[in-house]
Amino acid sequence: MSLFKDNLVLQAAGLTKIYGSGHTEVVAVRDVTVEVNRSEIVALLGPSGAGKTTLLTLLGLIRPPNTGRIAIEGTLVFDNHRAKVDVRRFRRQKLGFVFQKTNLIPFLTAAENVRLAMEIDDQRPKVSRKRAMELLEYLGVAERAENLPSMLSGGEQQRVAVARALANRPSLILADEPTGSLDGVRGRQVMELFAKVAHEQNAGVIVVTHDHRALDVFDRTLEMEDGQLRKSHN
Amino acid sequence: MNLATKDIKHNFGRFSLTSAGIGLLLMVVMGMGGIYRGLVEDATTLVERIGADLWVVQKDTRGPFAEISRIPRDLEDRVLPVPGVKSAHGFVSHTVQRVYKGKPLRLTIQGLSWPLDKGLWLPITAGRGLSQAHYELVADKSSRLQVGDNLALGKEIFTVKGLTKGMTSQAGDSMAFMTLDDAKAVQFDLSPESIRIERAARVNRLFDIELGQIQPQMSERAGGPNSGIPALGTFMISAVLVRVKPGYNIEAVAKQIAAWPDVSVYTKDGQKQLLLTGNVDRARRQLGLFRVLLIIVSAIIMALILYTLTLDKLHDIAMLKLIGAKNSVILGLIMQQAILLGCIGFCIAYFLGQWIFPYFPRRVVLVRSDLYSLAIIVFVISILASLLGIWRAMRADPGEVLA
How many Cα neighbours within 13 Å face the side chain of B258? 14
The pLDDT value given to residue B234? 66
The pLDDT value given to residue A5? 62
The pLDDT value given to residue A80? 85
CB B364 within 8 A of CB B356: no
Show the domains of chain A with their CATH numbers.
8-233 (3.40.50.300)
Q: CB distance B323–A57 less than 8 Å?
A: no
**Which residues of chain A does B3 touch, with a Cβ-Cβ cutoff of 8 Å?**
105, 107-108, 116
Mean pLDDT of A2-24: 80
Instruction: Kindly list the domain boundaries of chain B, sorted by start residue.
Output: 3-42+281-402, 49-277
* pLDDT digit string, tens, across residues A205-223: 998 887 777 788 888 889 8
The pLDDT value given to residue A1? 45
CB B138 within 8 A of CB B130: yes
Residues of chain B whose pLDDT is less than 70? Answer: 232-234, 279, 403
The pLDDT value given to residue B243? 92
Which one is predicted more confidently, A8 or B216? A8
Bridge-based pairing of strands B239-244 and B263-267 is unpaired
Q: Where are the alpha helices (DSSP H) in B128-249?
A: 180-187, 192-208, 210-214, 218-222
Q: Which of B402, B393, B403 is nearest to B325 (CA)?
A: B393
* pLDDT digit string, tens, across residues A106-134: 989 999 999 988 888 888 888 889 989 98
Distance between CA atoms of residues B92 and B180, nearest Å: 6
Q: Which of B311, B397, B323, B400 is nearest to A161 (CA)?
A: B323
Q: Which residues of B touch A (CB under 8 A)?
A: 1, 3, 6-7, 9-11, 315-316, 319-326, 329, 398-399, 401-402
A46 pLDDT band, cuts 50/70/90, is confident
Tell whether pTM > 0.80: no
Which one is predicted more confidently, B290 or A184? B290
Q: Rounded to the nearest 5°, which phi and psi values hold at B277?
A: -90, -15
Nearest residue on chain A to B8, judged by CA atoms? Answer: A107
Report ipTM (2 d.p.). Answer: 0.83
* pLDDT digit string, tens, across residues A136-183: 888 888 898 899 999 988 888 888 988 888 888 888 999 888 877 667
Name the residue among A63, A92, A125 with its Cβ closest to that of B324.
Answer: A92
